[in-house]
Chain A
Amino acid sequence: MSCLKSLFVFLCLQISLMVGLAGPANAQSDSETLRPLINELAEGKFAETERQIGALVATGDPIVAPALEALSAGDLYVRKSDGQVFIAEKDGKQFKLTDPLTLEAQGEAGRREVKKIKVNNKLRRVIRSALGSLTLMAPDPKVRIAAAEAVFKAKDPGSIEALDTAIAAEQDANVLEVMQQARAAAVLNSDLEEAEKIAAVEILSEMGNREALSLLIGVRSSSEGAVQGAAAAAVTKIEKSIAAWDAAQNIWYGISLGSVLLLAAIGLAITFGVMGVINMAHGEMVMIGAYTTFVVQDLIRTSMPELFDYSLFIALPLAFLTAGVIGIAIERGVIRWLYGRPLETLLATWGISLILQQAVRSIFGPTNREVGNPDWMSGAFELGQMTITYNRMWIVVFALLVFAGLILVLKKTPFGLYTRAVTQNRRMAANMGIRTPWIDALTFGLGSGIAGIAGVALSQIDNVSPNLGQGYIIDSFMVVVFGGVGNLWGTLVGAMTLGVVNKFLEPYAGAVLGKIFVLVFIILFIQKRPRGLFALKGRAVEA
């Protein structure tokens, strides 16, 4: 009920705005004819007031809405001296008076100079439905839609007539649709004949959303005969369509999760897949990227807040450079001594990850750091019956862009050519004059840099803490191993598959159990295809 009420307050505000804009001439003439009617509200008992409300509504002029709303809220007062009616707002010991029609301030009055117009619950109900039908004729289509939706929620058979008039006069197809749905809801709640009701059921089944579903389920249990049959059929139909939308929503969530996995894993796909280096410190590169974002935003906040919306674009290259340089340092300092000993590499990089974590903890503290969302990343929009948040959507886009960029670098640049050459046959590449140690260092730097920019994206949806990377490392390895080592497309498919499967398991098994199933599935999958979904063929496998 209270939400209904607030809706009407909103409506009234809208109307008042409109009235203000509509021009004074119109308001003037209306208020002249309407004022006596309004003033009559102050006279007589409840029954008479009800009649007077009816008369006001009969004018069909939305301008009377604020007065009625005020009456319902108990804010309508009559001035004892001249019998004029005002909307009054208590201000200390005085009342601030507002003209109920023009909504202009009319000075103040003392406590004893005005009298409240009494109202009871029955009157409030009358006013509510009256307001609904009144606003159905409002000039603004938004107001009309809101009014129709209010009727839909209230399912008041009394408003059918008003709706019929409104539907007859309606020009806008969108509004018409909403009105017809509202009418259908009201019809089902009334004692009209069966054919009408069946038509109403059809309209509702066209609607196909959860509101229609719950309404129809109610109808199915309360009605009988043909109406019940129609309702049951409609319920099945809607349930089917809702299931389809749910599946679509799940797929979207899965893609969203998959793109996060892709971002986290794609750098690993380079270092592990292309170079054969197990980098357990990969998660920490992601974390460093996230902290770079934090530092950039911090600087922007203090020095030039107007740049905040661009903070992520500034952070991206910086995160790439920071993580990339650290990566190259790790490669030059540690990993290059361990080529050909993958398990030792694993241990050494794990040690590096511990050091990096503790370093970040010492510098920034162990608690979460706040990274803000720029305006263009907050909010959501509706697509059909799905809600899509902007930050998730941008991350999907971003992940795909990064992926495409990486493919381009590896396939179309000289650096990519060298990298692939070194991957396929290191000695031959060295014989051709490629400086393999440089390529190693740069490739590792590229993988780490990609992890860094993944960190910028993940800072938008995850807590920025020293443990950020830890949460992704196992998942990332799963993605790379599942997709097939040495194959970026495999990583893409692997990430998306795992994301979608995870999200589809969640409703049935719960988040944790779903994840366990996925892990067990991967463990079993590796038994079947030890080299992943898209294994490299040929000699590279043997070597």
Chain B
Amino acid sequence: MMSSFLFRAMDARAGIFLALMAAVIILVPVGNLLVPETSPFHVPTYAVTLMGKYLTYALLALAVDLVWGYCGILSLGHAAFFALGGYAMGMYLMRQIGTRGVYGDPLLPDFMVFLNWQELPWYWYGFDMFWFAALMVLLVPGLLAFVFGWFAFRSRVTGVYLSIITQALTYALLLAFFRNDMGFGGNNGLTDFKDILGFDIQADTTRAGLFAASGLALVVCFLICRSVTRSKLGKVLVAVRDAESRTRFLGYRVEHYKLFVWTLSAMMAGVAGALYVPQVGIINPGEFAPANSIEVVIWVAVGGRATLVGAVLGAVLVNFAKTWFTAALPDIWLFALGGLFVFVTLFLPKGIVGTLSDGWTALRQRRISSDFGEGSGDPPSQAPQSPGAPANVPPPGPAVSRAGAAHPQPAE
């Protein structure tokens, strides 16, 4: 069983990725903890935390790629699942503060004392135990996604409509978490964490450990995604993406497939959020902002949809650029990000990884075909389109642009 799981997940590209990840997971903590500070190979702690943050973003991008790239569900609300996972972890961390808070209350977090709450709300029970919090990190986003998806997919809300209501979902949660009455710290969120599993959260070793945990989680989720997408289930998902109605007519219960992958993706986003919070040290309602969710989508688009590796690459690249821009040229960042959105959708519809691998395939094909003495092969960037240029395909018949799908239901 396990071996077939692993076998499915592996190929050359995945192998390169896993080797790279293994190197990063080992080398970065070593460079931080063991290499002396004077050495040029020393990795400063802030860099470890920063890279750890990128890894959690990469995990979030992976989750979005799973639903968007393989199942055609463009979620503009994945930040909601990310933030919910983050809040679950944040609640655990808050309970760990104990009497070290400003008010020194053994049970109530500071903000509750400040708001004059007398007792812990029921939904905060159990969060003093790590296993419970870890379970909630998976369950809360998973459950929300399940319920939401159950209703949405069953009533065949698709395409743009689904995107818009996912956006409404995260917007509603944003507003809800801003309220002090909700008992999640309101505007300020949860912060001022002290330790996690008994380790000081500020210590270099803990930071390195969190980094490694993020890396491991990314690897595990990557393997899960690979395994899912390369199985028969994955083939059906792609079929749903490309021609939902046709898949349904063939007898597949489309909504079940969608619901499964949607819930799985939400749980992965929750894990990403849970790993993000201890490294950043704060979780507040701003994480629910619809703009965040849309930004995640562009990471995936930059890296390449339906490539998994591309999602990781895109998340890291864009966030690195963001870090650099906001420090060096803060005014330019939004221009750059906005330009990136336009550029990628217009000129790089397959993203970096997709374009590269298309180019590689085309190159190989040309070599093969030149052996046979005839020249063919699509220009790389046009590969996914049918020969007709996309420029004037009427909106009412969008599926034409997808190879082979001659029928309704906008698949993208």
- A residues whose Cβ falls under 8 Å from a Cβ of B: 275-278, 280, 334, 336-348, 350-355, 357-359, 361-362, 425-427, 436-437, 470, 474, 477-478, 481, 512-513, 515-516, 519-520, 522-524, 526-528, 530, 540, 542-543
**For the complex, what is the distance from the CA of A337 to the CA of B348, rounded to whole Å?**
13
In contact, B341 and A350 (Cβ under 8 angstroms): yes
A-B CB contact pairs (8 Å), 12 listed:
A340-B394, A343-B159, A343-B163, A343-B412, A346-B74, A347-B341, A355-B339, A361-B334, A425-B396, A477-B164, A477-B167, A526-B152
Q: 9 closest Cβ contacts across the A-B interface?
A: A351-B341, A354-B338, A543-B396, A276-B395, A355-B338, A426-B394, A358-B334, A340-B393, A340-B398
- Interface contact B161-A530, CB-CB below 8 Å: yes
Contact B167 A351 (CB under 8 A): no
CA distance A425 to B397 in the complex (A): 10
B138 vs chain A, min Cβ distance (A): 23
Contact between chains at A275 and B395 (CB < 8 Å): yes
Looking at the assembled complex, report how far the CB atom of A539 sits from the nearest CB atom of chain B, in whole angstroms.
9
Q: B159 near A342 (CB under 8 angstroms)?
A: yes
A341 contacts across to B, CB distance below 8 A: 390, 398, 401, 412
Are B395 and A526 closer than 8 Å at their CB atoms? no
B155 CB within 8 Å of chain A = yes
Contact at B342–A523, with CB atoms within 8 Å?
no
- Say yes or no: A346-B393 contact (C-beta < 8 A), given A340-B401, A358-B331: no
Contact partner of B176 (CB less than 8 A), chosen from A474, A481, A516, A523, is: A516
| B168 CB contact (under 8 Å) in A338, A342, A512, A522 | A522
Interchain CB contact under 8 A, B349 and A344: yes
CB-nearest residue of chain A to B400 = A340
Knowing A334-B342, A348-B341, A519-B172, the reply to whether A342 touches B298 (Cβ < 8 A) is no
Residues of B at the A interface (CB closer than 8 Å) are 74, 148, 151-152, 154-161, 163-165, 167-169, 171-172, 175-176, 178-179, 290-291, 294, 297-298, 301, 331, 334-335, 337-342, 344-346, 349, 390-398, 400-401, 408, 410, 412
Question: Nearest-CB distance from B174 to chain A (Å)?
Answer: 9
Known contacts A346-B163, A477-B164, A524-B151, then 12 further A-B pairs from the complex at CB < 8 Å, ordered by chain A residue: A277-B395, A340-B393, A340-B398, A343-B160, A347-B301, A348-B341, A362-B331, A436-B392, A474-B168, A516-B176, A523-B169, A542-B408
Q: Are B342 and A340 in contact (CB under 8 A)?
A: no
In the bound assembly, the distance between CA atoms of A354 and B337 in angstroms comes to: 8
A18 nearest CB across to chain B (Å): 56
The answer on a CB contact under 8 Å between A347 and B297 is yes
Chain A residues whose CB sits within 8 angstroms of the CB of B164 once the complex forms = 477-478, 481
Closest to B337 in A: A354
Please report the C-alpha to C-alpha distance between residue A219 and residue B157 in the assembled complex, in whole angstroms.
60
Contacts of A346 in B (CB 8 A): 74, 160, 163
A352 to B344, CA, bound (A): 12
Chain A residues near B346 (CB-CB < 8 A): 334, 337-338, 348
In the bound complex, how far is the Cα of B175 from the Cα of A507, in angstroms? 17
Say how far B281's CB is from chain A's closest CB, in angstroms.
27
Output the nearest chain A residue to B344 by Cβ-Cβ distance: A347
Among B152, B169, B172, B331, residue most surrounded by chain A Cβ atoms (within 10 Å) = B172
Smallest distance from the beta carbon of B149 to chain A beta carbons, Å?
Answer: 11
B178 in contact with A512 (CB, 8 Å): yes
Q: Are B159 and A474 in contact (CB under 8 A)?
A: no
Query: Do A481 and B390 touch (CB < 8 A)?
Result: no
CB distance from B297 to the nearest CB of A (A): 6
* Distance, CA A275 to CA B157, complexed state (A): 20
User: A526 contacts which chain B residues (CB < 8 A)?
Assistant: 152, 155, 157, 161, 165
Determine how close the nearest CB of chain A comes to the CB of B304; give it in whole angstroms.
14
A354 contacts across to B, CB distance below 8 A: 334-335, 337-338, 341
Nearest CB in chain A: distance from B185 CB, A: 15
Query: Secondary structure at chain A's binding surface: helix, strand, loop or mixed?
Result: helix
The reply to whether A427 and B394 contact each other, CB–CB distance below 8 Å, is: yes
Contact of B395 among A280, A342, A361, A528 (CB under 8 A): A342
- For A343, what are the chain B residues with a Cβ–Cβ distance below 8 Å? 74, 159-160, 163, 412
Bound form: Cα–Cα A345–B335 in Å:
18
A242 to B171 alpha-carbon distance, docked (Å)? 35
- A351 close to B339 (CB less than 8 A): yes
Complex contacts, A513 vs chain B, CB 8 Å: 176, 179
Residue of B160, B168, B298, B401 touching A278 (CB-CB under 8 A): B160
**In the bound complex, do residue A543 and residue B155 qualify as a contact, i.e. CB atoms below 8 Å apart?**
no
* Known A347-B341, A348-B341; contact A358-B335, beta-carbon cutoff 8 A: yes
Tell me the bound Cα distance from A357 to B331 in angstroms: 11
Q: How far is the CA of A157 from the CA of B400 in the complex (A)?
A: 87
With CB as the reference atom, state the residue of chain B lying closest to A522.
B168
Smallest CB–CB gap between B249 and chain A, Å?
14
Nearest-neighbour CB distance to chain B for A56, whole angstroms, equals 59
Closest residue of chain A to B148, judged by CB? A523
Residues of B within 8 A of A543 (CB): 396-397, 408
Once the chains are docked, how many angstroms separate the CA of A339 from the CA of B344? 16
Q: Are A347 and B294 in contact (CB under 8 A)?
A: yes
Residues of the B chain whose Cβ atoms lie less than 8 Å from the Cβ of A276: 395-396
Give complex CA distance A135, B252 in Å.
Answer: 88
Do the beta carbons of B392 and A358 come within 8 Å of each other? no
**Which residues of chain A come closer than 8 Å to B339, judged between CB atoms?**
351, 355
Which residue of chain A is the closest to B172 with respect to CB atoms?
Answer: A519
Q: Which residue in chain A gives the minimum CB-CB distance to B291?
A: A470
Bound CA–CA A408/B348 (angstroms):
41
Closest Cβ neighbor of A336 among chain B residues? B391
- B321 to chain A minimum Cβ distance, whole angstroms, is 14
CB-defined contacts of B390 to chain A, threshold 8 Å: 337-341
In Å, the complex CA distance between A478 and B155 comes to 18
List the B side residues contacting A540 at CB < 8 Å: 396
> Are B168's CB and A350's CB within 8 A?
no
Chain B residues within 8 Å of A339, by CB? 390-395, 398
Contacts of B165 in A (CB 8 A): 481, 522-523, 526
Q: In the docked arrangement, what's the CA distance between A470 and B400, Å? A: 33
- Residue from B74, B168, B176, B408 within 8 A of A478 (CB atoms): B168
Asked if residues A474 and B74 are in contact (CB atoms below 8 Å), the reply is no
Question: Given A334-B346, A337-B390, A339-B391, are A358 and B338 neighbors across the interface (CB < 8 Å)?
Answer: yes
